[in-house]
Amino acid sequence: MDISNYLLLLLIWTLAFGVIRGQEKSSKEKLVDRIVQSINNQSMEGLKPYLSDDFVISGRYSPISLKILEQLILQLNEQVNDYTWIKSEETLDGSVTHFYRFDYEGMGERQMSFSVNEDGKITEMELVNMKVKTLEEEPEVIKPTEKVIEIPFRLKEKLLLVDATIQGERKTFLFDSGSPRLILNQQHFSTEATDSGATRFSSVEGVHRHINSLDIIELPDFNFHGIRMKNQQVLTADLSHLEATLHTPIVGLIGYEIFEGYDVLFNYGQQKLILIYPDQTKNFIAALSAQLSVSVIPFKLESHLPLFEASASGRQFTLGLDSGASSNLLSLNLIEPLEGSVSELHHTELSGADTNEQMVTKGVLDEIGIGDISYFSVPTIFKDITNLKKAYGDELEGLAGYELLSRQVSLISYSENTLYLFK
């Protein structure tokens, strides 16, 4: 081979190697760009095709790993302003791990990494140093023999405060039908230490709030008017912001898992709740119907949330019923269709049990119809409810709580999928 042919081959090989290296870089950059887009858009749809069938995150494998990644992206609620490649390391199995420095808008700079197999699919990812805990099994709730349980409550900031005991000590809880579980306030319970700088990511989807950074502890003894838990794993969350809003120590939220199996009667006038075993519900309906007119509203139970139809300005929409909603809540998309029926519109900050504050639009809805009842001058918040729709279905357009339940005696019959309103 003469020197010119040799140089030509060398040039071709060099160019080919450069193209291969360029393609490797392009592939790596394409993957990190997909990850950044997923975080910024709070959606992993564009990332799914690039994940391997055996994708791992925080030691969890598919399909659980996909759920964890989806929750993590939502809960980060972050924007990646910029990112810098740090290094790449090849492992013995042929995969490559790429390390990047992400500049998050809120959290600042954090290192992340992802591993890629020989097919170019992401096999493992670490966005932040995180710890994921899961309940090993559903907590066992022990029900009393009584079929009717009367529970006094105190009303504060349009929320229901009730008493329960933990290891015999009386504590104040928020009765919240929008929470799927009993959730204890981390401020009142110690949890095991975590690595310095670690971020916990687990969550529960309530309806008026999406509560992040949950932990799990073992609760020796809990008693809510005869409904008990003994030595059960339960969730804890930071509810300090809720305490600050109510100016009251709140030890936790009493959610649906505690009163599941009962129908629930709300009497704001007498400030009492009544948990009713379903075979006793007809007696209450008969007694109340003899004194008051009754409206019967069918609902569909989505997870623990009753969904029912309402209307305003000639438009029908679906609401969820949540005793923890101190104001009516409607989707931001309904502002324009209902604009002629809403007065006193203004922007304000809303905060809830998730400790986050966000700007929302607040006003007074002139009239809203539920069944054959019209409610007038209803304080209403308009906000983005994307997370609620993901949890309870696209048909959901908002929530009704205090402003509905407090205006008459209300009975939620979970056993009949029916809401009874007595006026």
> What pLDDT does 348 receive?
82
- Of the residues 259, 282, 304, the one at which a domain ends: 259
| Judgement on whether residues 106 and 167 belong to the same structural domain of the protein | no
Do the beta carbons of residue 275 and residue 259 sit within 8 Å? yes
Residue 108 pLDDT greater than 70, yes or no: yes
The verdict on residue 271 lying in a domain is: no
| Judgement on whether residues 302 and 415 belong to the same structural domain of the protein | yes
Q: How confident is the model over 255-298, as pLDDT tens digits?
A: 999 999 999 999 999 999 999 999 999 999 999 999 999 999 99
Q: pLDDT category, 190, cuts 50, 70, 90?
A: low
Residues in the chain: 423
Q: What are phi and psi of 253, to 5 degrees?
A: -110, 130
| Judgement on whether residues 310 and 254 belong to the same structural domain of the protein | no
Please compute the mean of the pLDDT values over residues 190-204 and round it to a whole number: 45
Q: pLDDT category, 208, cuts 50, 70, 90?
A: very low
**Which has the closest alpha carbon to 160: 257, 263, 246?**
246
Reported as half-sphere exposure (CB side, CA atoms, 13 A), residue 22 has a value of 6
Whole-angstrom distance, CA of residue 174 vs CA of residue 171:
10
> Which range of residues forms the domain containing residue 379?
292-422
The verdict on residue 100 lying in a domain is: yes
The verdict on residue 202 lying in a domain is: yes
> What pLDDT does 231 receive?
95
Whole-angstrom distance, CA of residue 272 vs CA of residue 152:
4
> What pLDDT does 3 receive?
54
Please compute the mean of the pLDDT values over residues 206-218 and round it to a whole number: 60
Whole-angstrom distance, CA of residue 177 vs CA of residue 259:
9
Do the beta carbons of residue 100 and residue 84 sit within 8 Å? yes
Q: Could you give the number of structural domains in the chain?
A: 3
Whole-angstrom distance, CA of residue 91 vs CA of residue 123:
13
Residues paired with 224 in a beta bridge: 227
| Judgement on whether residues 161 and 250 belong to the same structural domain of the protein | yes
Please compute the mean of the pLDDT values over residues 249-260 and round it to a whole number: 97
Residue 336 pLDDT greater than 60, yes or no: yes
The verdict on residue 103 lying in a domain is: yes
Residues paired with 219 in a beta bridge: 232
| Judgement on whether residues 101 and 207 belong to the same structural domain of the protein | no
| Judgement on whether residues 297 and 415 belong to the same structural domain of the protein | yes
Q: What contacts 300, CB < 8 A, 6 or more positions away?
A: 306, 307, 308, 417
| Judgement on whether residues 152 and 123 belong to the same structural domain of the protein | no
Whole-angstrom distance, CA of residue 330 vs CA of residue 35:
32
Residue 2 pLDDT greater than 60, yes or no: no
Structure tokens at 97: 């791990």
The DSSP secondary-structure symbol of 238 reads -
The verdict on residue 85 lying in a domain is: yes
* Residue 31: CATH number of its domain: 3.10.450.50
Do the beta carbons of residue 176 and residue 184 sit within 8 Å? no
Q: How confident is the model over 353-411, as pLDDT tens digits?
A: 444 567 789 999 999 999 999 999 999 999 999 888 888 899 999 999 999 999 999 99
Q: How confident is the model over 34-71, as pLDDT tens digits?
A: 999 999 998 888 899 999 998 988 777 777 788 778 87
Q: How confident is the model over 174-183, as pLDDT tens digits?
A: 999 999 999 9
| Judgement on whether residues 402 and 321 belong to the same structural domain of the protein | yes
* Residue 381: CATH number of its domain: 2.40.70.10
Three-class DSSP category at 15: helix
Structure tokens at 155: 């009303």
The CA R_g of the chain, rounded to the nearest whole Å, is 27
> What pLDDT does 146 receive?
96
Mean pLDDT check: name the lowest of 87-101, 211-225, 404-418.
211-225
> What pLDDT does 359 receive?
79
| Judgement on whether residues 310 and 408 belong to the same structural domain of the protein | yes
**Which has the closest alpha carbon to 76: 104, 100, 57?**
104
Q: What contacts 181, CB < 8 A, 6 or more positions away?
A: 139, 204, 234, 235, 255, 256, 257
Q: How confident is the model over 128-176, as pLDDT tens digits?
A: 755 556 666 788 999 999 999 999 999 999 999 999 999 999 999 999 9
Residues paired with 213 in a beta bridge: none
- Of the residues 259, 281, 310, the one at which a domain ends: 259
Do the beta carbons of residue 254 and residue 203 sit within 8 Å? no
Do the beta carbons of residue 162 and residue 173 sit within 8 Å? yes
Residue 199 pLDDT greater than 50, yes or no: no
Tell me the one-letter amino acid at 346. Answer: H
Please compute the mean of the pLDDT values over residues 220-248 and round it to a whole number: 93
* Helix, strand, coil abundance in the chain, percent, nearest 5: 25, 45, 30
| Judgement on whether residues 252 and 340 belong to the same structural domain of the protein | no
Tell me the one-letter amino acid at 208. Answer: H
Structure tokens at 83: 């990112």
Q: pLDDT category, 351, cuts 50, 70, 90?
A: low
The continuous run of DSSP H or E covering 338 comes out as helix 335-338
The verdict on residue 13 lying in a domain is: no
Structure tokens at 297: 């509203």
Structure tokens at 46: 């564009």
Do the beta carbons of residue 241 and residue 353 sit within 8 Å? yes
The verdict on residue 253 lying in a domain is: yes
Q: pLDDT category, 196, cuts 50, 70, 90?
A: very low
- Tell me what the pLDDT averaged over the chain comes to: 86
Q: How confident is the model over 3-43, as pLDDT tens digits?
A: 555 445 544 444 444 443 333 444 889 999 999 999 999 88
Residue 209 pLDDT greater than 90, yes or no: no
Q: What are phi and psi of 284, to 5 degrees?
A: -70, -40
Mean pLDDT check: name the lowest of 151-165, 205-219, 337-351.
205-219
Whole-angstrom distance, CA of residue 78 vs CA of residue 125:
17
- Of the residues 77, 99, 128, the one at which a domain ends: 128
> What pLDDT does 391 receive?
82
Q: pLDDT category, 81, cuts 50, 70, 90?
A: very high
The verdict on residue 22 lying in a domain is: no
Q: How far is CA 23 from CA 11, 91, 241, in A?
A: 18, 20, 50
| Judgement on whether residues 304 and 343 belong to the same structural domain of the protein | yes
Tell me the one-letter amino acid at 167. Answer: Q
| Judgement on whether residues 155 and 98 belong to the same structural domain of the protein | no
Structure tokens at 390: 């993901």
> What pLDDT does 65 receive?
82
